[in-house]
Amino acid sequence: MPIKNRFAETHDTITAWRRDIHAHPELLFDTHRTSALVAEKLREFGCDDVVTGIGRTGVVGVIKGRRTGSGKVIGLRADMDALPILEATGAPHASTVPGAMHACGHDGHTAMLLGAAQYIAETRNFDGTAVVIFQPAEEGGAGGLVMCQDGLMDRFGIQEVYGLHNWPGQPAGSFAIRPGAFFASTDEFEITVQGRGGHAAKPHEGVDPIVMAAQLVTMMQTISSRNADPTEQLVVSVTSIESSSKALNVIPGSVQLKGTIRTLEPAMRDLAETRLRTICTSLGAAMGGIIDLEYQRNYPVMVNHADQTEFAADVAREISGACVEAPLVMGGEDFAYMLEERPGAYILLGNGDTAPVHNAEYDFDDAIIPTGCSWWAELIERRMPA
């Protein structure tokens, strides 16, 4: 089954939805305008039920097939939130909100799932129930977790769940997927290096936290280079260093470091946290200061389930003619929480030769809309044949 003709007919309409959402980006759980637009469209489409406020600002639409005797219930999830980035695309539909933009393509994901929902509600050519899930706060707010904690899976009886993300650098309209661990866990740390400040001309009278912080950054890199199995993926990144003093002739009293640790294996996750705690405690004592660590486990490893991954790939091959094996991704994805609760799969849809995601010059390629919509719709029709 190639791209469905219906999406060629509605392409311009779905593109207009996408560009409207793009022009009005909203961050984290503050997706009030977007959520209202989604709920309004789902009601217009004739969904059997539209529920708002799941996961604070999430929206869920329920669409029953012509028959429901199979008892099957499939969930389809798209994310809605934007990023705190000042847009630099110069596009006519560019963000009208200073300092916020859809730099990850969630506007495209939302529009494509809306397009698919419209088709599914019109045709109902399946035996079972389709549940379309529009999630806030993927970009750091763990909206997927909050929706699950609100009873998403049990309330709607979801048995399997599927997600999709556009992917710059991959040929437009092509698909890629892999079973098992796919996206990394994304733990975060904040470290305070406490010394004893003083005059820059008399370092011996104090305890220099700058030197301690420099040693700490170097030692942290040994977690991946000397503690972890080199065949496993582990990335330790210090992304911010800030001193308590701005004067050039003052040794500060403290230094703050922030960063992330990413891995694809629970054992590596445990090792990294344990080693970082040991390094902080030991280095602080050795150098006469105190190093305090605040460690937060964030998104878990996103793991695709084998059977659902193969099914998702089969549907992708029907739509585009091919589906290649995706690379491992060290970025995080909170669809991981949904895949912890139900079997399912997450697939990448090529966005072509565009700027990368999380970049001020990124924009979603509207040409891939019919492909994404067709994948959603065909997935429902094939998994729950009428």
Chain segment 195-244, per-residue pLDDT in tens: 999 999 999 999 999 999 999 999 999 999 999 999 999 999 999 999 98
The per-residue pLDDT of the chain, averaged, comes to 97
Per-residue confidence band for 86, with pLDDT thresholds at 50, 70 and 90: very high
Residue 94 has pLDDT above 90, yes or no: yes
Quote the percentage of the chain above a pLDDT of 70. Answer: 100
The Cα–Cα gap between 258 and 135 comes to: 28
Residue 294 has pLDDT above 70, yes or no: yes
**Residue range 127-153: average pLDDT?**
98
What confidence tens digit (pLDDT) does each residue in 47-67 have?
999 999 999 999 999 999 999
pTM: 0.95
The DSSP annotation for 77-135 comes to EEE--BBS-------TT--SSTT-B--SSHHHHHHHHHHHHHHHHHH--SBSEEEEEEE
The answer for residues whose C-beta is within 8 angstroms of residue 179's C-beta and 6 or more apart is 304, 305, 306, 309, 310, 345
Would the CATH topology of 5-183+301-383 be identical to that of 185-299? no
- Per-residue model confidence (pLDDT) at position 244: 84
The Cα–Cα gap between 146 and 149 comes to: 5
Alpha helices in the chain (DSSP H): 5-9, 11-23, 32-45, 106-123, 143-149, 152-156, 209-222, 266-286, 306-320, 335-341, 369-383
Tokens of 25: 């980006």
- Per-residue model confidence (pLDDT) at position 1: 53
- Per-residue model confidence (pLDDT) at position 2: 78
Residue 274 has pLDDT above 70, yes or no: yes
Per-residue confidence band for 118, with pLDDT thresholds at 50, 70 and 90: very high
- Per-residue model confidence (pLDDT) at position 205: 95
CATH of span 185-299? 3.30.70.360
CATH of span 5-183+301-383? 3.40.630.10
Quote the percentage of the chain above a pLDDT of 90. Answer: 98
- Per-residue model confidence (pLDDT) at position 224: 96
**Residue range 9-17: average pLDDT?**
98
Ranges of each domain in the chain: 5-183+301-383, 185-299
Per-residue confidence band for 173, with pLDDT thresholds at 50, 70 and 90: very high
